[in-house]
Amino acid sequence: MMGLRFTVPALMLFCAVSLQAQTSDEKTLDRIFDETMNNGEAYDNLHVLCKQIGHRLAGSPQADMAVRWSFALLQTYGFDSVWLHPVTVPHWVRGEKEYGEILNVAKVNILALGGSISTPVDGITEEVIEVRDFDHLKELGPEKIKGKIVFFNYPFPQNVVNSFEGYGEAGPYRWHGPSDASAMGAKAVLIRSVGSAHDDFAHTGSTTFASGVPKIPCAALSAIDADLLSATLQGNTNTLFKMILNCKMLDSVQSYNVIAEMRGSQFPNEIIVVGGHLDSWDVGEGAHDDGAGCMQSVEVLRTLKAAGIQPKRTIRCILYMNEENGNMGGKTYGKYAERSKTEKHIAALESDAGGFSPRGFSMDSALLHAANIQPLIKMMEQYGVYQFSEGHGGTDIGPLEKAGTHLIGLVPDSQRYMDLHHTENDVFEQVHIRELHMGAAVMAMMCWYLSEYGVQ
């Protein structure tokens, strides 16, 4: 009993000292965390964006609706300013659902790649030639490629820790594989979907053609159907494939970045940007890519305002338009920032890697090693955020680099993102409320800290 009498007061004294030792910054981070996790609205806002608006390819009526809805949403929060920033965007349309068939074997699931042209009305039916990689394409040469449908069957690498590394390795077969094949005379291109799952969801995404190279129809096969086509080719090298695509590029249209801000109390002309891209591909609901990042960015401002935390520097939320097939929103805003005579964009944070559990932040080397960032890195460990590394900030914010802006990307857990990326399966039901709000909370912490101390 005597030991207990001494232990309890000692424990109480230890707790009191620990509480007193908590710094003002740590208390502010706790306030931010508590407000977002207890009262966060990002998940409910994302539900509206996904279920009442849906997918939002730039130039589409849904993209226009998303602009009008998000503008009205931001106005309801009473931020210091809310406005629309005009952007001219491309307008590619998919048209009627694609048709794909391994002739006399099976109908297969294909999705036209963004930027593809249509086939003739009755489609293309040609012999398929399987290509393992770009070296194999060069080895085959124009004499074996000309007039055929080239099938790039490059599997998504699984021996990577971060799935974005796998995307970087397999992605080029979508980005410029059709152009390379067209330059050798290919009539059309199929690619194995750039995705980490083995399922029947085809993945769309942009492709580009080099200057002077004829545009040809190109589409992605689901992983399961890619395996079927490959197996069929092993048994019959003269396999024919039929594809019908109805896509086309229309005239560019007027759209907008949607912007809101909390003005800084001491340095209002020093700007910290936080954002994601409001557009999505025209399949699924664009939940993780990038409705999640947009609603997290709105939540950053909502949280700080609701918690009564006034930033010293201006925090500006930007919902960018047209990241998926042109990045005109990012480019247009980047030019504005570069030319501004009154504003200095000191940092920009983007969330465009999914609404999964936050693990850390990637950033440019100068910011990563800045002296005043080191205390924040240490304080964030208690929130499960520990992966601070040099790396990519984000496509939308990339053009801000020319304005001397430090670029930061939220790094969530990456293991399931490439299963859903650019597919029909990127829907609201794939998003978890705690993961989404945890990401928003740590984004708010980063933005507040930068607004408090700048970059030194």
Q: Which residues of 378-413 are buried (b: 16+ CB within 10 A; e: fewer)?
A: ebbeebebeebeebbbbbbbbbbbebebbbbbbbbb
- Paired tokens of 153: 């069957």
Q: Kindly give the pairing relationship between strand 406-412 and strand 344-350.
A: parallel
List % helix, strand, coil for the chain (3-state, nearest 5).
Answer: 40, 25, 35
Dihedrals phi, psi of 265, to nearest 5 degrees: -80, -25
DSSP 226-290: HHHHHHHHHH-TT-EEEEE---EEEEEEEEEEEEEEE--SSEEEEEEEEEEES---SSS--IIII
| 115 closest CA partner among 324, 279, 288 | 324
Catalytic residue among 323, 324, 424, 452: 323
Distance CA 127, CA 35 (A): 60
Centroid of chain to Cα 441? 18
Cβ-in-10-Å burial (0-12, 13-18, 19+) of 24 comes to exposed
8 A C-beta contact, residue 278 and residue 56: yes
Distance CA 66, CA 360 (A): 29
8 A C-beta contact, residue 304 and residue 448: yes
8 A C-beta contact, residue 303 and residue 36: yes
Neighbours of 66 (CB within 10 A): 27
323 is known as an active-site residue: yes
Which residue(s) pair with 152 in the sheet? 131, 191
Side chain identity at 412, as an amino acid letter? P
Distance CA 276, CA 340 (A): 22
| 370 closest CA partner among 397, 390, 384, 400 | 390
Q: Is the peptide bond before 135 cis (omega within 30 degrees of 0)?
A: no
| 175 closest CA partner among 149, 204, 207 | 207
Q: Kindly give the pairing relationship between strand 267-277 and strand 106-108.
A: unpaired
Distance CA 383, CA 360 (A): 10
Q: Which residues are catalytic?
A: 323
